[in-house]
Every structure is written in C-alpha cells, then in structure tokens.
Structure 1
Amino acid sequence: MTTLDNPDISESYKSTTRPLDGTLSHLTEAQQQALKDLWPIKVTRDQVKATHLSVAGISTSDAQAVDEWYAANKKIASDPKLQTVQDKMYLSGEREAVVPGKFKPLFSDDRGTRLFANTFWQACMLHESPDAYLLGFLRASVWKVDQAFNRVVVSVGWRAAQAIDELMWEGELGMHDKLLNDGVLFRTGYDKLGYPINIIRVKLNIPKERGDGVVERYAAFALEQTSIIARDNGERATLVYDFDGFGLGNVDKGFIKTLLTFINDSYPQLFSATIQYVDSWLFSGLWKVISGWLDPQIAKRTVISKNIDQLENFIDRDQIITRMGGSMDYTYKYVYPTKQENIKMFDTKSRLRAESVLKLAVDAILQTTKDWVAKPDVAGYIDQPRAQATDAFRSATLALDPYIRARFLTERTA
C-alpha cells in the first residue's frame, strides 16, 4: 500500500480541507436521526468491577508508609523492566508527593467499581460534547445504530473495568520510566489539516527491556493524552510510526496488537491518518500481520510513506523533524513531574464544587436531550436549551479537569 492507495484521505490532505461530514453541525437528516436513535439507549447499565490498568503499589501520601513500602519492595522498584517514574523519583531522593495518594472517583463511585453511566460521562469529557463522543462511534459503524451502541458498551465497559480515571490521576508517575525517558512516543508539530502529530519511534521499542503490564498501561495512557490534546484541535490527531533503524529486536506484535485493539474499540475516530514511515523489506512481513488487525474504517486512513516526499503529502516539511528529513529542529527530552503543576489536585473543597457544577450540567444535558429526541422534526439539529446545556457541560469539564488528573509532558513543556 502506498499513499495513492487511499485516494479519499490523500484528497483531504491535498486540499488541506478537514472532512466534516458526520461531525457536529455537519449532519444530514439521516445522520441526525441516527444520533437521536442512539441517545435513549446509552447510560442505563449497572456497575462494572474495576480491575485497574493503574500501577499496583503504594497509594498514600503518608511519608512513613511510602518509606516502608519502598523498603519492602526495593528490588521491584529498582528493576529497569518494571521501574516507574514514581520509583525512579523516589530512589533518586525526590520524595514529595506529586499527586494526592488517595484516589477518589467522580460521582461518588467506589474505587473498586464504576457505574456505567458515570464512566460514560467521563468519556464524554474527552470530547467537545457528549454528541461528539457518540458521533465518533456512529461514523466508525457507518451509521448503524445497533453497531454503534455495541461499540459504546464495549468502550465504556473497558474504561470502567480498567479504571482509566485512576490511570490519569496517577499520570506519568505510574508509567515505565525508560519508555518515557527514551521518547518511544512523543508529540511535535501539526499535519496539513492542523491536527497534532504523534510519533512512535519503533527502534526505541525493545520488548525485552520491560515487564508485564507495562505496554497496556502505556498504550492506554498515551491514547488518553492524545484525546485530551485533540479535543481542542478538531478531535483528531495524526499517528506516525517511524521505522527508521528498526530491526527484529523491535518487532513487538504484542504492543502493536494492544495499541490497535484499544484504538479499534475505544478511539476509532481519534486518528485522521496513521502513517507507516518505512522503506524496509523487514516491514513487509510485519505488515501482512498488522493489516489484518485493523478496523476497516481505520484501514482507510492508514498509509505507507517510504520517503520524505511521500510524507510531505500529509505533513509540511517545516513540521517534520530534521531526523526524519524535515526542517523542524527538535530534540526530545523527558522532564519529570512536580507537585506544583498538580497543586489543584490537593484542593478537595474546590474539586467538590467543580464536580457539583458538572453534575448540574449532566442533568441539564439529559433533560434537554430527552426533549430533543422526542421532537419529530429533525431539522435544526440542536435547539437553544440543549446548546446551552452542552456549553455548560464543556465549561464544567474544563473547570474540573485540573482537579482530577495529573499534567503530562506536553502540558508541562508546552
């Protein structure tokens, strides 16, 4: 496959025009009706047990308890295959709590369980609006409501079971230290449609250098970060796999399959384009396996670029880093988190106030959506009360955000 094999995506980038069909305010009557049909059947399911992708270990701000934990688990905390950012900081003498030790889920959920409805609303917080969240699954399902509903159920159930909210609360503290310091994945520049670029350096991904569970945590965390960044950039990003210098030791089918499974199930519309930047005979065999794992809609947005000229079909040269043949001067460096950047997470009273505002916004969306769905006339899409409720939800989301998750590198270095 070359860039010419996907004419639809190539045409969008050639014209530098974002495809808007099926997005907010760009719906046909049939698409709007599909959205209406999807809404009444969503937030009605029961509790889901949270088994946690978040890192196991110490969960307290008590300095003595932290010291005791590390004294008893020094071997694990020192193991490069398992060592997290938190472990590295503690063993290096940086022992101030970067985030509060005791995690508390939103909406009074218990740490060991999540209500499906509550997790649904938290997923919506990653998007311009709840409609935008649902529309992503409708587009991925080619506007088949039943399929879209099933995908929402799978995605929200996964988020609840894996405690994605707690994963983001811990932030980079729970991530594999070497993966972050090596810069296996980093963000820099924008593509021709104005979407932020994510680059995975396949050469730096060495499976034998990490332990069990590392990949799952890192993949979920990276996709959540990308969703947060994309929220203000058209809800899309571009993913580039840089295969320069990769060898057999970097072939990691487990990581690739995990990442693709997460994307297919829970982030099907996140990436505007996925670019395999590679010119290697070794890749051809790997691609035969990878291509079979792709969701058909994602496959349509996946291309192979063999050189800088083909890559320029999607990214201007001044947005391509020099190491990849472009003119952007960029050197990756990991900067460790600090308490100060997460200081609002320690302000419980302000968090509760912000959370109560979000609850009111959720109630308003539910009521105005109920009224909107009941209207027989589908022309006009969003009526004024519902538009106001959506704006209130968006504002409440942004206000609550700094109280419920740690900042990450892109925000830290801006």
Structure 2
Amino acid sequence: MSQNGAHEIAPGHLGNLTDEQEDKLRQLWAFGFQVLEMYETEARIYEEKKARGEAVEPAAAAAASPKPASGGWGFFGKKKTTELTHPKFPNCVKEMQKLMPDDEPDKEELMKLALEALDLYTPETARAIIVEAVKHEHPDTLALRFLRARKWNLMRAVVMLAKSVRWRTEDMKVDRVLMRQGEGHALEQEVNGAAGSKDKTLGKDFLNQMRWAKSFLHGVDRDGRPVNYIRAAKHRASDQSVESLERFTVYSIELARLSLQAPVEMGTTVFDLTGFSLSNMDYVPVKFLIQCLEANYPESLGCILIHNAPWGFSGVYRIIERWLDPVVASKVHFTSGAKEISKYIAPEHLVGDLGGTDPWEYEYVPPVDGENAKMEDTATRDKLLARRKELASLFEDKTREWAAAATTDKAKTSAIKHERDELAKQLAENFWELDPYLRARSLYDRLGVFQGNGKVDWAAAKRTQDELKAK
C-alpha cells in the first residue's frame, strides 16, 4: 500500500503491464479467438452435412482417439508418432496444430485437451464457461493470472487454463453444482437425507467445517487483501470425509474470490497453529489445497502466515515445503504473538483471539428459509443471462479490435482499451445482479458482508450478529 493509502498495482497485473506483457495478453486472446473460429466453422459445416444426411455420428469412444502415423522407430526399427485427429472435426484439429510452433514442448498435451474439449463443449458453451469463470473480475485479470503463473509462456498458460476449465466444469462442477447448491443444499442433505446415506454424511460434514469455525474469512491485511483464517487445532482427519473437506475447501476459495475488490487480486491465508499438535496434522487436505491453488487458482495467494507454530513444527513444514512452488514458498512467513502478526494485519482488522482489536467473533449463522427464493425466478435469471451473453459478445468484438489495432495506431488502441474496460465494468455489474439467481446464499451474505453490489463490508458481520442476538 502506498503512503496515501491507495493500493499499489504490482508489476504484471492489470494496470501495470510492460509492452511485452500486454502483447502476451493480446496473443492469448487472439489464440483463443482463432481456435473458436475454427471450431465454429467446422461445426457449422458438420451440421450442414448432417442435415443433408451426409454426416455420420461417430462412436463416443472414438471421438478423441489418436491415430498412429508412420515415421521414426518402432518394433522393427521405426518409431511411431501420434497423429491427433477428431472424426467430426478433423480440419479443426489440423488448423489448431498449425497455430503452434513445431518445437512447442506442450503442443501434444494441448492438442489432447483440445480434442477432449471438442466433445465436451460447443463453441457457445465454451464461451459461457469462460465468462462464468471470470465472475466479477475484469476478463484480463483471469488471463493474466495464468500468464504470470507460467512466466509469460503463451502455450503453457493456455494448457494451464484449459486444464483449469476442465477441472471447474467436469471434475469439481464449481459453478453449476457446488456454488449453486451451497450451504442450503448441505443442510437439506443433513436434515432429510436417508440415515447412513452418503448424501446425509456429506451435508453434515460440509456444514461442520463452518460450525466448528475451522476456516473463515474476515477482514483485510495491510495491503487490503481479504484474510482467510484456518484454525488447524480444530481439525482431525477422522471427523469428516475427504470428499466433504475438498468440497468445503473449493467452496471457501470461491467465496474468497467474491471478496476481492479491484485492484486487489490476491488474498492472505493465516494458518493459526495455536493449540496445534501432531494429532491435528493431516497431509491429505494440505496437499489438496496446495495443488488446487497452484493448478486452478494461480496467482491468488499474496501472503501465507503460519502463526504460533509449536516446537517441532519445522519438521512438518519441511515436508509441506517440497510441495510448494518456489514463488508460493517465498510468500510464507512465520509469526508468533500479536506484535509479529500485526506487521501484516493491522490490529483493528485482526481477530481478537490473535491479539487484535476487532470486536467480531466467529459464529456460524445457518441458512434460513427463503434466502434462495430468487433462484426460482427463472424468467429474471434468463433475462440477465441474455444480457451477460450480449455484453460478453461486445467485449469479444472489442478485444478483437484491440488486438488488431495494437501495433498500428496507439491513440486508437488506447480508446479501444477504454471501451473494453467500460464493458468489463458492465459485465461486473451484471454479475452481481445475476449472482442471487445462480448462487446459493452463504454465511457472508447472511451476515451482510457481501453487499450484493460488489462491495464488501466486514464490519457488517458484527452488526448483524448483534441484531440477531437482540431478537
């Protein structure tokens, strides 16, 4: 933070890019548009053939199968190479391969991901998924996270982004299941699930993480980054299933994302080890958290504080440190006592049990009847989704224009960038309008921390608690 209280924009972040970095950003967008155009063209041709009865639907199992090609050395002195193709969109695959340099080491991995995507998504759903993942942030902010994580290597950033999209949509089903169901669904599972059923256990285990105050968001650090507290002493591996803990972990990360306010793009995590013993140590969720953040939420952690670590924890950390990316490891700081942690979090923003003066104390407020009523209003939801699609299309058009004008007319480029930024703001406003129709309400909505318009008021948590107690 600067001396006047404004948040400084770090190098490589939106608003502080070198010419070379901005060029990489344009290249990333341009690459994505080229792939979509190829896919749209061949998909249209395929549908036309299908309408004429000239196309045959391929077997699902063969949809993305690689074909061996001649050349190199095999069983009898010749090596076999792999020719990647697709039975419905062979020309699209060939054109995508031409986009990548022959010496690109990630070329084959990216092509395999592309083949899988051709079966999973239409061009329209691919666009929708990217817009969904952007949420309230500027679309460039998301793209830049992956570019920075891969040290501005375009193809490696594309591979990482493609894997993350696959994980969000197919593996974890972040937006369309996890966040849409939320805490209300977990409570429904716990209360009405069949005795001994997996659903009942998952619901109970998920909610218990919050009831036990094992992890929660509150306040900001000295750089304006939202703080996630993890109370390690409250964890025992046998208290919940691995699946429920992983779902809660991703759920918490997504809520932390919603608490980010531009230009702040990262959060701070405090591992509170007060009262921690080896009986609380569980490497499985720690490894999941590390892998999850590094692979799917790159450049999201600004600072990690390991607070009040007991004697002997250094041996545990030596194991954990091996799993950390060097950049992430450099953000880890050990603190002990209120004075040391206050170097990172001002006392007025630090929770009381760590020596801060913030009067708020964590207490879980469960879901209430009717809090997700807007999710049943599909007419308004669809109207807002249509507007979001329109804005995304305008942003795409303006981004194409920006990329094309970048090297020819600086004044024109600057004007286009301004128009893009205005569209990004409208997308953010639309996101918050749409949010209650797509995402189940969370603890932070019930406490009034999430204001519903992109604003975050951490002090509202204490006021809401006092009001509830007064009733």
Which band: TM-score by shorter chain? 0.7 to 0.9
Aligned runs of 1:130-279 on 2, under 5 Å? 130-161=139-170, 162-165=172-175, 166-172=177-183, 173-174=185-186, 176-231=206-261, 234-279=264-309
State which of 17, 22, 36 in structure 2 corresponds to 1:27: 17
Against the structure 1 CA distance between its residues 197 and 233, is the aligned structure 2 distance closer, same or farther, given a 3 Å change threshold? farther
Deviation at 1:156, TM superposition (A): 1.0
Determine if the alignment matches structure 1 residue 119 to structure 2 residue 109: no
Quote the residue 2:117 is aligned against: none
Determine if the alignment matches structure 1 residue 393 to structure 2 residue 403.
no
**Does the CA contact (< 8 Å) of 1:195 and 1:237 recur in 2?**
yes
Q: What is the alpha-carbon distance in structure 2 between the residues aligned to residue 271 and residue 412 of structure 1? A: 26
Q: Using the alignment, how far apart are the partners of 1:211 and 1:297 within structure 2?
A: 31
- CA deviations on 1:212-251 (whole Å, 9 max, x unpaired) are 4112101111101100111457222211000111112210
Which residue number in structure 2 is paired with residue 67 of structure 1? none
CA deviation profile, 1:59-98 (whole Å, cap 9, x unmatched): xxxxxxxxxxxxxxxxxxxxxxxxxxxxxxxxxxxxxxxx
How high is the TM-score relative to the length of structure 2?
0.67
* 8 Å contact from structure 2 (residues 211, 364) kept in 1: yes
- 1:40 counterpart (4, 17, 30): 30
Identity of aligned residues (%): 28
Change (3 A) 1:230 1:388: closer
1:169–1:404 Cα contact (<8 Å) kept: yes
What is the letter of the counterpart of residue 411 of structure 1? D
Q: How far does residue 406 in structure 1 lie from its aligned partner after superposition? A: 0.8
Matched length: 338
Distance 1:202 1:316 in 2: 22
Q: Deviations over 1:252-289 (max 9, x none)?
A: 10010111111101112222211111332232111011
Displacement, 1:378? 8.0
- C-alpha separation between the residues in 1 aligned to 2:2 and 2:230? 23
In the alignment, which residue of structure 2 is the partner of 1:341? 371
Partner of 2:447: 413
Q: Does the 8 A contact of 2:9 with 2:263 survive in 1?
A: no
Q: Letter of the 1:169 partner, please give it.
A: R
Residue identity opposite 2:164 in structure 1: S
Q: What amino acid is aligned across from residue 155 of structure 1 in structure 2?
A: S
Give the letter aligned to residue 182 of structure 2: G
SS in 2 for 1:363: helix
Deviation at 1:17, TM superposition (A): 5.2
Structure 1 contact 201–243 (Cα < 8 Å) conserved: yes
Deviation at 1:413, TM superposition (A): 0.8
Tell me the amino acid that sits aligned with residue 171 of structure 1.
Answer: G
Higher gyration radius (CA):
2
Question: Per-residue CA shift, 1:86-125, capped at 9, x if unaligned?
Answer: xxxxxxxxxxxxxxxxxxxxxxxxxx97944332221111
Q: Mapping of 1:314-325 within 5 angstroms?
A: 314-325=344-355
Letter in structure 1 aligned against 2:16: H
User: Secondary structure of the residue that 2:219 maps to in structure 1?
Assistant: strand
Give the conservation status (yes or no) of the 8 Å contact 2:7–2:224: no
Deviation at 1:200, TM superposition (A): 0.3
Other-structure match for 1:300: 330
Residues 1:369 and 2:378 are matched in the alignment: no
| More displaced 10-residue stretch of structure 1: 345-354 or 185-194 | 185-194
Residue 339 (structure 2) aligns with: 309
1:261–1:249 CA distance, 2 compared to 1 (3 A) = same
8 Å contact from structure 1 (residues 305, 311) kept in 2: yes
Deviation of 1:395 (Å): 2.2
On the 8 A contact 1:138/1:145 being kept in 2, the answer is: yes
Judge which range, 325-334 or 395-404, deviates more. 325-334
CA contact (8 A) 1:171 1:408 kept: yes
| Cα displacement (A) at 1:377 | 4.1
Unpaired segments ≥5 residues, structure 2 = 40-59, 61-119, 187-202, 449-471
Higher relative contact order (CA 8 A, sep 6+): 1
In structure 2, relative to structure 1, the CA distance for the partners of 1:42 and 1:253 (3 Å cut) is farther
Deviates more, 1:372-381 or 1:281-290: 372-381
Change (3 A) 1:23 1:409: same
Q: Deviations over 1:104-152 (max 9, x none)?
A: xxxxxxxx97944332221111x42111111111222222222221221
8 Å CA contact retained: 1:191, 1:238: yes
Distance 2:420 2:374 in 1: 30
Partner of 2:356 in structure 1? Answer: 326
- AA at the equivalent of 1:167: L
- TM-score, normalisation: structure 1: 0.76
Given the superposition, is the C-alpha separation of residues 377 and 223 from structure 1 closer, same or farther in structure 2, using an over 3 Å criterion? farther
Go from structure 1 to structure 2 and tell me whether the alpha carbon gap of 1:17 and 1:368 turns closer, same or farther (over 3 Å shift): closer
The one-letter code sitting in structure 2 at the alignment partner of 1:118 is: A
Q: Distance in 1 between matches of 2:342 and 2:408?
A: 45
2-side partners of 1:336 and 1:152: how far apart? 35
- Structure 1 residue 39 displacement after superposition: 0.8
Stretch deviating more after TM superposition (385-394 or 347-356): 385-394
For structure 1, the 5+ residue unaligned runs are: 1-10, 50-111
Q: Secondary structure at the match of 1:281?
A: coil
Contact 2:225 2:264 in 1 (8 A): yes
